[in-house]
Structure 1
Amino acid sequence: MSVRESVLRLLLVEDRVEDAERTASILRNGGTAVRPTRVESEEQFQDLIRKQPFDLVVAGVEAKIIPIERVVEIVESSGKDVPVIAVLSELSDQGVQAAFASGVPRVAPRNHPEILQFAITNAFAAVEARRSVRRLQAALRETERRCDALIDSSRDPVAYIHEGMHIRANQAYLEMFGFEEYEDIEGLSLLDLVATGHADNFKQLLKRISKGEQPPKNMQLTAQRSDGSTFEAEMEFTPASYESEPCLQIIFRQRTIDADVVRELDELRQRDQASGLFNRTYFMAEADRLVAEAAEGGQDRALLLIEIDNYDAILSDIGIGATDDLLQAITSRLRKVLGDEHVLSRFGEMTFAALLRDSNHALTEETANNVCTAFRGQILDVGSRSVSATVSVGAVQIGERIASTPQVLDKAAQGLGNAAALGGNRVELFDPGARDRAEEQRILARVKEIEAALEENRFVLHYQPVISLHGDEGECYEVFIRMKLPNGELVPPMSFLPEAEEHGLMGKIDRWVIGRSLAIISERKKQGKDTSVIVNITTSSLHDAKLPELIGNQIKKLEIDGSRLILEVPEAKVFTNLKLAQDFQRAIARHNVQFSLEQFGSGVNSFQLLSHVDAQYLRIDRSFMVDLAKNQEHQKKVKEIAEKAQALGKKSVAVFVEDATSMTVLYTSAVSLVSGNFLAPAGSEMNYEFG
């Protein structure tokens, strides 16, 4: 898939909104479909990179919100394949060296759009190619595993022959001829397995096949086992290839075996005979399957390697004759603690392996510690002896970045070795996506802070004036929420709203903001000022069937004009929750409350939405404000939205106005209202002189 055929999910780390928007615009203008997200804090960045799929991170080297070194550290610790591109305002030797020193392999200049676009699209193409390779590798492993599994599980003895020699044979084939392992038959001539009476005819057949003659479909002969005994057999021949080499597939047909016997044989082939656990071959096939799922983005899978500590000392104590008893005692203990829901295998002499599904970092750590606890301070009954043994565990949380079985096993073995080197009786867990577990504790602590702030009324509002370009009477402010900590520190919205939304607290916060806004409207009325307040609400409020009635009761109680309250929802959220938005808008309209569409114009046909939802205000998407004075396409779009809104009797709002030249453009358009830091930043007081 080419870059142009897929959407680039871009995470931007920039101090200025304008820089982030400019990067997204450069990509869009170059024909790249982009879905940009700008972060405003380190906490938000960690949350997004952990929970959502992104393709690239573009970070300003000079950014203060998150230092470039910290950006690289967070991305690497996430365990995800997300390249980081460092962006420089000036392409100086010092800046480039600083970027490379932070660990970023790619650097691009912010003020050279062509180079910046080239760097981003090439990095995107590279990450797409790597993902494609991982998918192909996983598919190949799965195909090979399935082929091997089909051959191994076949009730028919199957072998592959190249130039008359065995190069592959399944277990049924080995059992038929009395061999224990494939090494016993590897390189052995097929002619050696044919009884003397049929040897000459079979030899001539092999010669004809070697000269390019097609083999017969089947052949009946007398076969000979390794112990010299013979049996009647029918052979099927099929041209095939093995490891890219042309060969001959041969299937020996015998009498039909009872189905129950077949099932028993299949079960035996999967099991280690001494312990009764799955054998290493079966375990590796299952590990390949789980790793392939991880390569496709699957999560919550883990592998454990478990080894008895000080095995040599224990063996010298109990004697080699009690090895089987020790193995059974250990196996019984492991089965008891791990249960049947995990794949438990004997991996070595006294090394065991387990595959865990639906096991995140916390569960994997808990399971591994439970394994250690099951042996720590406990007695194992080994025949007539009682021994005390501990285990070490090397655990790996399987993720996209280590989505190959050898890598997973290497990490597990490394962890096992480290645990043993530290004296054993411990767990070492490798989890590339969760190196800093303190982040989870931080989120839980933040949620408690939000709940406490709601209970103790410790939220405050800041106000940014929204100014009429047509001299309308009255004043208008947009409100922004802040959370006050017990020590008086004000926490910006993006540092707590994501956690609030994730934990279902946004509905309560919306109610608080709306209630406080209505109180402000009442307070301003008593001061002789007609103040309108714009409140951005979430979809939680759209689901709150009781909210319109509560708003109406409060308006009636405060004796204020409901039209002074303007509730705003993003256009995309209204589109995806259309029925709820329609019902909500109609319900608040009964109290004369106004409805606004935020990010208007970002959809394919935004005005079509107005035939379904009666919005009185249209807040133009901020992307159109980037380089408004120079970008004629943006000017055309803003003018088009404003004129259509005016024709429909709607008020258009231009936001994020940052310079005088943009204001000049807006004055000549039909835009109704404007806001932005150029006019006045948000503050804790409503003190703007509307004149």
Structure 2
Amino acid sequence: MDTHRPHSPFTSLKWRIALTTAAVLFLIHGMFSGFAVYSLQQQFRLQRQEAQRQHRLILDHLTEQSYRLLQQIAETIALVAENRPASADPIADTVDNYWTTYQLTWAIEAVHYFDSEGRLLRGWGTKREPPYPPEEIEPVLASERPRFFFHCARTCLQYAAVPIIGPDETTRVLVIGRSLANLILDFHRLTRSHVAILEQRSGAPPRIVAVTRPDRNMPLLQRLPLDTLPETPKEETLVDLENATLALHLVQPDTGRQLAFLILDDISDTLSAQQRSLTNYLLGTVVSLLAGIGIVILLLRRPLVRLEKATATLPLLAEGRHEEIQQQLAPHTSSRRDEIAVLEANILQASARLASLQQQVDERTRSLVQQTRTLQQERNFVQGLLDTAPLIILTQDQNGSIITVNRFGRQFLAGHRLQAASFDQLFLRQECERLQYLPLLAQLRKGEIARAHFDTQLPRQEQTHHITWFHTRLEDSAGETPLILSIGLDITERKNAERRLSWLADHDPLTHLNNRRAFQSKLAAVLDRATLERKSFALLYFDLDQFKYVNDTCGHKTGDALLQIIANKLREVTRSEDILARLGGNEFALVVYDSSRDTAVHIAEKVFSALQAVDCQINGQPFKVTVSIGIALFPEHGRTLQDLLANADLAMYQAKEAGRSRIHVYTPDTEFHKRIQQQLYWKDQIEQALEEDRFVLYFQPILDIRRGTVSHYETLLRMLGPDGQMLAPGLFIPMAEQLGLIQRLDRMVLDKALDVHQRLLAEGNPLTLSVNLSGHSMADESLQSHLQERLSANGVDASRLIFEITETAAVSNFASAQRLIKKIKDLGCHFALDDFGVGFSSFYYLMHLPVDYVKIDGSFVKNLENSPEDQALVSALADIAKRLGKRTVAEFVENEAILEYLREIGVDYAQGYHIGRPGPTIAPVEAALPQSSAGR
């Protein structure tokens, strides 16, 4: 059969497919493209027109709203002034009295007061002299109607001139000015579009007065030909800025031609929508393509059937079934000379050729089978080893072309083209890597070195992987070209861990601010730089007032969330070059370089105001965040790191001493230093004593007066000083309360007392112990939970434990005291009210506190035998307590006469030096033994 006979190109299957598909796709694509482009243009034009209209409406509304606010303030001043008839000029006095309020509440920057002749009487604010011409006031006096206008000097203000009646019944004018910055900020908050204020100047380009987001928008505006913008006020100018596209639109306000508003609208999202529309268009193109293919398939259905029959015989060639091929194709070979006919003829020729070669192949196959089996076993072993190793294992030739890659390497490099790839192009992506490692690889490939080791970076998906490479030159004894074996280990996780540890070493993990270590290091660098450049800088040291209340009330999780909010707010109000750090707890620090005293105070006020604006609620109630800020200046307040930190810390304490929520620049104060040093000394002593277990329990007996025997012992606390001297609680308990350490002492005393209680019970000595609790324990739920856990342990008899709290602490937090007493009594313990009689409304609170014992304050008892007034008071207290079902304990019983009187009036228990002095051990006491009256 002649298979080389020429055929017409127009009868070719390929030609027919190409013509048909091209015609269909061209038609469909043209329809879709025209419609898509037209729709997108119309949609974009309508959206921009609507956006411009909305911006103008919002701007007009905000302008009108601001003017009405200024008019209302002026009218309010006039109304308040009417209630000051005794003043010579009530308007001026009213503004003087409330000027600070107007500034802080309404952001008023200027107030001008004119008489009926248009003469300035008084001025307030940053512009005491009116920057605007008198012509702005004359129409108000003439028409006695308010007038609104803009005026720009160094800054642009929005003014409202309001006629009022003066004290002499003449018409006067009160002009109130407010910065336009408030208006454009409100506009930005409502529309999320940025806006700039342009001052129109005759004969000169417009001047930019203010702009939102100046760090981003000011460089753009400075590059624009602003002098051409007023010529096209209704058109937009599109500007590409980094990855965003901005639409600029000029708006001229109705109340003045001196300035204009330039609106900068980010239309990146709109353009993205257009891009999505184009994507839809592409999808339409795909649809047209599929439709064309379908039509082609329908047209070529019969040729495809012939092609299918021909291709169905191809597997028979591989199987060597040549007779079946001859039977299927020979009778059906078409006389048409198209590609399918050529294919059928070629299959028949190939079948005949293969049949003759099959015999030769069979003979050679048998001789290679044995060798193949051996090689296959070896290959499977090596390949299995390579594929199971979590390493990139590849070979490359002397030109760097990759020859083989193991399975892990192919999976790791998924998405990269490996065929004919070069190691240098695939793994040495960075210029610095190529400069450093290509010479090393060249030496390896030339045989000058046998091994090489280096690290590279490979971008993969959304992460850059770090790979360490080990290269070995493989010499071939047969004389063929040597290969390079390269083994790559992914060390990305180790690198990430190292970076994370490095970051954690210098940052606070909660707020992501600098930690104390990084702050001190950076502060030392700033100190060296300032010394070298002879510059000054400010160190601001501040902490949050009443932050402990947040933690105690809502828990540390809420406190942590508040710290994160505050850290974000601090980032907003500080510059990127400033050094901001969280030093621990609720303490923060800020370093402002090249700062004067006034600048530092201004920045502190900015921080103060920003934190006060934080919207926070505690237990459903609004909670205002306030801070106490201390400022130390270099070199005025110190030239060393230690001096600056110490003086900034002292300045913060000075702010707290002045009443908290204040800003204080460091001032030398010897008495204050001594007081702070004393607090720091006792803080260190108490914390060190807690760590070294230098707190000791003393026990003082309490006598049952009726039985004449010791009823129980009160547990008292003493501290062993560093020199071995025993310190009374009056020296360290008040300091512990001031420094916030009293709760740690309460827990320590509780644990020690319960340990003694368990030991006594184990020894068969079931004595009752009385343990004091501070007022801070009433709200300490963790201490209460700890007490419940200890009382539930074996070897504890809750009925032989009495807990005491002072009357003053109970009355100051009555609800918490009630809850605490109830919880302790529910555990089986008893409760005593200490220092009874010195609090406010003692009898009332005694009726509602479920206590078992009432301890009459020793100040009424120690002079009882000589003071009729004390006798009457103690008798009344004892009688009231007894009628309320409470047992009474008298403190400071110093002699037998006092004890005898207490017995006569029915007091239940006595405590004092006459009964027994406090001691470190519990021993029998002779109640009648006379004791010194030197103290309790």
State whether TM-score is above 0.5. Answer: no
Structure number with greater Rg is 2
Output the TM-score relative to the length of structure 1: 0.44
Higher relative contact order (CA 8 A, sep 6+): 1
